[in-house]
Chains A and B, each alone.
Chain A
Amino acid sequence: MRIPCPHCGERGNDEFLYRGAAGLPRPPADATEAQWHDYVYLRDNPYGSHRELWQHVHGCRRWLVVTRDTRTHVIAAVTDVSMALS
């Protein structure tokens, strides 16, 4: 699997660190335990398109939001996290 880094170009996935689903809404500090439980432990785990966080640790070290199909590993979009989540 190769990931097209917007800063470095297309690189093998072993240059990247994976950090799971992107854009999970972090609860406010005074949120209930149930909200924190959902945030920390529960995942949609979709069969198909998945927005996920990768860090290009052996390249530019930027965090990226990758949209990838979990059935085929085909990557539809890659955005720097500052553009994707702002």
Chain B
Amino acid sequence: MTYSVWRIAREALRGNSGWQPAWRDQAPKPRYDVIVVGGGGHGLATAHYLAKLHGIANVAVLEKGWIGSGNAGRNTTIIRSNYLLPGNEVFYEHSMKLWEGLEQDLNFNTMVSQRGVLNLFHSDAERDAAARRGNSMRLHGADGELLDAAQVRTMVPLLDFDNARFPITGGLMQRRGGTARHDAVVWGYARAADRRGVDIIQNCEVTGIRVEGGRVRGVETTRGYIGAGKVGLACAGNTSRVAAMAGLRLPIESHVLQAFVSEAIKPLVDTVITFGAGHFYISQSDKGSLVFGGDIDGYNSYAQRGSLPIVEDVAEACVALLPCTGRLRMLRSWGGIMDMSMDGSPIIDRTSVEGLYLNAGWCYGGFKATPASGWCFAHTIAHDEAHALNAAMRLDRFATGALIDEKGAGAQPNLH
């Protein structure tokens, strides 16, 4: 069923009796050409592009819970391509371009809103760093614009511009950045993949990976053994656990990242703002809630909930940046589990097991990467080699020294 304004009008006249489920509820078949482990945005996007671009539709996506139950439903929905390093920026700019055409590609309203992403700076040194990053973005074909304090003030007048410690001296603006609707992204990819013949199998947890003679043969699951020609892991947060089933030990720690929404208020922030004097980012949802977050808690965790010091830290940053939010009530907070890699950048690569592929290490930045991650992972699985866009995101870069360390923090996952 194709969604269109005509379909809506028709269903309005028929009492909405003709809508069908967006994807089939499939039981697993005995064997697939490709099994993707993890029914989050990245796994579903991988299946979609495998079927659409590489003609491989005998694909299953295995999800241990339900679609949208993991990090796809736990992020702050920001999309952007404002990276510095060549190994990252080409990839994220490709993702940005895919976001720009995603609704037409998927025939699903993913509510992509290019409301801009504004990185504030508060000193001359930060301004220089922002200018350098903006130049790198523009050299890679993305957009970037250096704004002075007056230009920022025109856009967001309620920021604390004349703060004694951290005066706002300007910002690096990416106008093509913005937000997308996180649930709609996974639903849209699931529906589009399903329409091309992909089986989306929920409540099916992988409990083992069968490897014979150095080659992957299939996966053991809570719904029985399923054979596979190739297996792709896209289960960030739990990557180490699943990869260990195939004997892999990875440069990844799992950490909890919290996010927050306030009660709904009238329009206050019509872009995405990041604080330059602390780790804090904020936007406003269509319902009116402020959506914001900050640092990870900083210790290994699979618990999907964090502790109070980070709640306090994020709230302090919020009030430091936007003093007018001081009496606003925080409505909800939640935690998601991040694959924190050893250099802060992701991995999309083959592994030492033939036919087993790895998509992992997204740290904070998985949501914005969803389309390009699936696109590149599908290419890597289909052709058994990386595309130029993910050529730098190798698993062996930690051994060769070709790290992509955007922040220069070294092998300290809780500092990325």
**Chain A residues with a Cβ under 8 A of chain B:** 1, 12-14, 18, 20-21, 33-34, 37-38, 40-45, 47, 50, 52, 68, 70-73
The prevalent SS among residues of A at the interface is mixed
Q: A20-B413, A47-B254 are in contact. List 7 more A-B contacts (CB 8 A).
A: A18-B298, A41-B342, A42-B249, A45-B254, A47-B240, A52-B300, A70-B254
CA distance A52 to B298 in the complex (A): 12
Q: List 29 A-B contacts (CB under 8 A).
A: A1-B307, A12-B308, A12-B309, A13-B307, A13-B309, A14-B309, A18-B299, A20-B300, A20-B412, A20-B413, A21-B300, A33-B399, A38-B249, A41-B398, A42-B249, A42-B250, A43-B240, A43-B251, A43-B252, A45-B250, A45-B252, A45-B253, A47-B240, A52-B299, A68-B299, A70-B303, A71-B302, A71-B303, A73-B307
CA distance A33 to B298 in the complex (A): 28
The prevalent SS among residues of B at the interface is mixed
Q: Which residue from chain B places its CB closest to the CB of A36 in the assembled complex?
A: B399
Which of A13, A34, A72, A73 counts the most chain B CB atoms within 10 A?
Answer: A73
B351 within 8 A of A: no
B241 touches which of A1, A18, A47, A72 (Cβ 8 Å): A47
**Chain B residues with a Cβ under 8 A of chain A:** 238, 240-241, 249-254, 298-303, 307-309, 342, 398-399, 411-414
| Cβ–Cβ < 8 Å partners of A44 in chain B | 240, 249
| Cβ–Cβ < 8 Å partners of B342 in chain A | 40-41
| Cβ–Cβ < 8 Å partners of B414 in chain A | 18, 20
Inter-subunit contact A73/B301 (CB<8 Å): yes
B251 touches which of A13, A20, A41, A73 (Cβ 8 Å): A41
| Cβ–Cβ < 8 Å partners of A33 in chain B | 399
Distance of A24 from chain B, by nearest CB (Å) = 12
